[in-house]
A and B are shown apart, each in its own frame.
Chain A
Amino acid sequence: MSRFIQLHVLTAYPPANLNRDDLGRPKTAKMGGCDRLRISSQSLKRHWRTSELFQQVLATEQGDSLIGTRTKRQGVLAYDTLLELGVSEKKAKLWAQKIAEQFGKLKKPEKDNPLADLEIEQLVHLSSAEQNGINALLKTLAEEGREPEKAELDLLRKENMAVDIALFGRMLASKPTYNVEAACQVAHALSAHSVVIEDDYFTAVDDLNDRSEDAGAAHLGEAGFAAGLFYSYICINKELLIENLGGDKSLADRAVAALTETILKVSPSGKQNSYASRAYASYVVAEAGDQQPRSLSAAYLKPVDRYSEDYAHDAIDALQKQLQSFDNVYGDCADSRYVLNAVTGEGNIKELLAFVSE
């Protein structure tokens, strides 16, 4: 198995304001002495990990032990199990509620549904490790005929590792024992070409203004925007990811595939109502190997020429040349590669996902 999976992704966005600075203008950075558009890694990660797609890809088949279950009914399940184990109804309900409470707020009691207050208000994604932990605890409680202790309930959360935390890490200054080292490195996305942020001067008209007194606008404003072809770089440490997921390799494989699909399809949501700039990736190189990972941003140290007739073609060309040139100079920088080119229509996402989750 290769330790590192590297993704080099080119995505073209039409005019937009995807990631803003303190003045509400698109973020920028200099590279090769020229101004570039920038999307911060934090912004990218936030949108990937909170996207519906990422959730869905990881939790489509209900009950699949690898990917956990999304349910509101954990408390009911625990209650039923306790009854089967011979615990009295009253105790079973109390203990099940204590367990369910760990995952979310309980619903209010209902008159005609005696088990309503065992349900949680939101769907909760439970991992198989967590499920096993609950079952083990229920068994202990039934055998010893006592209610769960505080420390035992705490363990329910600690054992479990959510996939997004395993990938992107967690740092809690106050509770360093819960810290997790991120298995995925995400660079700031930079435009392959130089940009000048444009100013959109806009007015909004009052529909009820009948122009009898004045025909002026009800609101004036200014918004910065720019279009860009972005180079993004992501490096996943598969070994660390498996470790973070408690040795569960198949879950790690699914996580990598889910993340890759999300990276290709999910865009930052900044100002989508104004610009509707959602885009899919146009070009992807995936690499696998143990070699020292490196990004290929040097391909765009010289920005793609602003007189270029075909940005996509020139950007892909520069990326391929940089990849080859690093290989020539330093020796092969990866063991194997897969290329998806949505500009020419080469490769497909199914094969790409199979490659990264090998």
Chain B
Amino acid sequence: MEYLVFRLYGAMASWGNVAVGESRHSAHYPGKSAIAGLFGAALGIPREREDLHQNLAQQYRQAVKVLNVGTLLKDFHTVQVPDSAGKRRYHTRRDELVVGKARLGTLLSRREYLVDAQAVVALRSCEEANWTLAELCEALARPKYHLYLGRKAFPLSAPTAARVIGADNFRSALDHYESPELLDYQPEWARQERWLPTEESCRYYWEGSLDDFSAEDGEFSAGSVQRLSRLDQPLSRKRWQFQPRIENLWQS
């Protein structure tokens, strides 16, 4: 079976999670909506084309291997906006802040960001998929819109180095993919464990059955797999709704 495998690294990232009101939390690894959105951007699908986005979210199965868990950072964020009372409509942001100065109010939010995190993602396509893995791979290499890690302010800090590879299952696809080194110069410090340390054990998240991930061997057994539910299966963009999705977690 074929898999599209690629690496996601940026100095900062934030993966959508259930967020109500002032606090905007981040998950520790990219979810379904994030990956579907990434390919939507790469292919240049406008946000209104819900049918195409649904295809991306439903017709591909994904697995994630977390290379670096990273740490969480809390950001205190303020936005100044004038209230909308009166007839005035502000033409530009400058108008809002300069012309509407007397009416300015502040919105607060607390956001969680991930720093020093790195992950490898593997994608498998289903029968009804609109795009082949090779087409998705090409789209990543020459994207139509910006690619980003959960928020637009978090760009990729290394090419995704996407490749289509043949493998028996998710685990072998993820483990056989060797992403080019992030830092191929200054090897004496790149090896220093401090800057971006290799995790002692790796977390794998995947959709589907145990067989989709790996055949049982010495270290992998059904008993060590956790079933998780995450609210990240896009249902409607207009209504901003997500469905729960079942995922498996195995830690090497």
Do the two chains belong together in a single complex?
Answer: yes
Question: Which residues of A approach B to under 8 Å, CB–CB?
Answer: 3, 21-22, 27, 29-33, 40-42, 46, 49-50, 55, 101-105, 122, 124-125, 157, 160, 162-165, 168, 176, 181-182, 185-188, 190, 233, 235, 237, 239-240, 290-298, 301-302, 321-322, 325-326, 328-330, 333
Interface residue B88 (Cβ < 8 Å from any Cβ of A): yes
User: Is the CB–CB distance between A29 and B89 below 8 Å?
Assistant: no
Query: Chain B residues near A235 (CB, 8 Å)?
Result: 146, 155
Q: Determine if A302 and B92 form an interchain contact, defined as CB atoms under 8 angstroms apart.
A: no
Cα(A125)–Cα(B98), bound, Å = 13
Given contacts A50-B98, A104-B88, 5 further A-B contacts (CB under 8 A): A187-B153, A294-B158, A326-B158, A328-B184, A329-B180
Question: Does B91 contact A325, Cβ atoms closer than 8 Å?
Answer: no
Question: Within 8 Å of chain A (Cβ to Cβ): is B99?
Answer: yes
Are A124 and B113 interface neighbours, CB within 8 A? no
Looking across the interface, which residue of chain A has its beta carbon closest to that of B108? A22
Interface 0/1 of B102-118, CB less than 8 Å to A: 00000000000101100
Contact of B116 among A21, A33, A321 (CB under 8 A): A33
- 23 A-B residue pairs with Cβ-Cβ distance under 8 Å, sorted by A, are A3-B144, A22-B76, A27-B75, A29-B73, A30-B71, A31-B11, A32-B196, A49-B92, A101-B87, A104-B99, A105-B88, A124-B91, A160-B91, A186-B153, A187-B12, A187-B154, A233-B155, A237-B146, A292-B147, A321-B186, A328-B184, A330-B161, A330-B180
In the complex, which residues of chain B have a beta carbon less than 8 angstroms from the beta carbon of A322?
183, 185
Is there contact, CB below 8 Å, between A291 and B141?
yes
- Interface size counted on chain B using CB atoms at 8 A: 58
Question: Which residues on B sit within 8 Å (CB–CB) of A157?
Answer: 89, 91
Q: Are B142 and A185 in contact (CB under 8 A)?
A: no
Measured in the bound complex, the distance between the Cα atoms of B9 and A322 in whole Å is: 15
- Which residue from chain B places its CB closest to the CB of A127 in the assembled complex? B91
Q: Is the CB of B142 within 8 A of A291?
A: yes
What DSSP secondary structure best describes chain B's contact surface?
loop
- Contacts A32-B195, A187-B11 known; A330 to B89 CB distance under 8 Å? no
- With A50-B93, A125-B91, A188-B12 known as contacts, the answer to whether A302 contacts B180 (CB < 8 A) is no
CB distance from A20 to the nearest CB of B (A): 8
A186 to B153, CA, bound (A): 5
Within 8 A of A (CB), among B21-63: 47
Q: Identify the interface centre among A49, A101, A185, A326: most chain B CB within 10 Å of its CB.
A: A185
| Known A27-B75, A181-B47: A298·B155 in contact at CB below 8 Å | no
B202 at the interface (CB under 8 A from A): no
Residue pair A182, B160 in contact (C-beta under 8 Å): no
Number of A-B pairs, beta carbon distance below 8 Å: 158
Which A residues lie within 8 Å of B89 (CB)? 102, 157
Q: How far is the CB of A256 from chain B (nearest CB, A)?
A: 15
Q: Which of B75, B87, B144, B152 contacts A40 (CB 8 A)?
A: B75
Q: Is A42 a contact partner of B116 (Cβ separation < 8 A)?
A: no
**Known contacts A101-B87, A295-B156: does B182 contact A32 (CB below 8 Å)?**
no
Cβ–Cβ < 8 Å partners of B159 in chain A: 292, 294, 326, 330, 333
Tell me the bound Cα distance from A231 to B231 in angstroms.
Answer: 35
The residue of chain B having its C-beta at the shortest distance from the C-beta of A162 within the complex is B92
Query: Top 7 nearest A-B pairs by Cβ distance?
Result: A41-B153, A32-B195, A22-B76, A162-B92, A297-B11, A329-B180, A185-B146
Which residues, 179 to 210 on B, are CB-close (under 8 Å) to A? 180-186, 189-190, 192, 194-197
- Please report whether the interface of chain A is mostly helix, strand, loop or mixed according to DSSP: mixed
| B220 interface residue (CB < 8 Å to A) | no
How close is A261's CB to chain B, nearest CB, in angstroms?
16
Chain B min CB distance to A229 (Å):
15
Q: Is B10 an interface position by the 8 A CB rule?
A: yes
Which one of B115, B141, B184, B196 lies within 8 Å of A292 (CB-CB)?
A: B141
A40 to B88, CA, bound (A): 29
Check B1 for interface membership: any CB of A closer than 8 A: no
Knowing A22-B76, A33-B194, A185-B146 touch, does A295 contact B94 (C-beta < 8 A)? no
Contacts A30-B115, A330-B161 given; does A301 touch B196 at CB 8 Å: yes
Residue with the highest number of chain B CB atoms closer than 10 Å, among A104, A190, A240 = A104
Specify which of A290, A321, A325 is in contact with B142 (CB 8 Å cutoff).
A290
Shortest Cβ gap from B161 to chain A (Å): 6
User: Nearest chain-A residue to B89 (Cβ)?
Assistant: A157
Once the chains bind, are A302 and B192 in contact (CB under 8 Å)? yes
Docked CA distance A33–B196 (Å): 7
Name which residue of chain A comes closest to B71, CB basis.
A30
Chain B min CB distance to A6 (Å): 9
Task: Flag whether B245 is at the interface (Cβ < 8 A).
Answer: no
Q: Is the CB of A188 within 8 A of B153?
A: yes
Whether the Cβ atoms of B92 and A165 lie closer than 8 Å is: yes
A185 surroundings in chain B (CB, below 8 A) = 146, 148, 152-153, 155
Knowing A32-B194, A302-B186, the reply to whether A46 touches B93 (Cβ < 8 A) is yes
- Measured CB to CB, the nearest residue on chain B to A54 is B94
Contacts of B147 in A (CB 8 A): 292-293
**Minimum CB–CB distance for B191 against chain A, Å:** 11
- Taking the nearest CB of chain A, how far is it from the CB of B133, in angstroms? 17
Of the candidates A49, A186, A292, the one having the most CB atoms from chain B within 10 angstroms of its own CB is: A292
Bound complex: CA A181 to CA B144 (Å) = 13
Asked if B77 is at the interface (CB within 8 A of a chain A CB), the reply is yes
Instruction: Compute how far the CA of A326 lies from the CA of B180 in the bound complex, rounded to whole angstroms.
Output: 9
Contact indicator per residue, chain B 54-86, by CB within 8 Å of chain A (1) or not (0): 000000000000000001010111010000000
Residue of A nearest to B139 (CB): A292
Residue of A nearest to B148 (CB): A185
Q: Are B99 and A122 in contact (CB under 8 A)?
A: yes
Most chain B CB within 10 A, of A33, A165, A176, A190, is at: A33
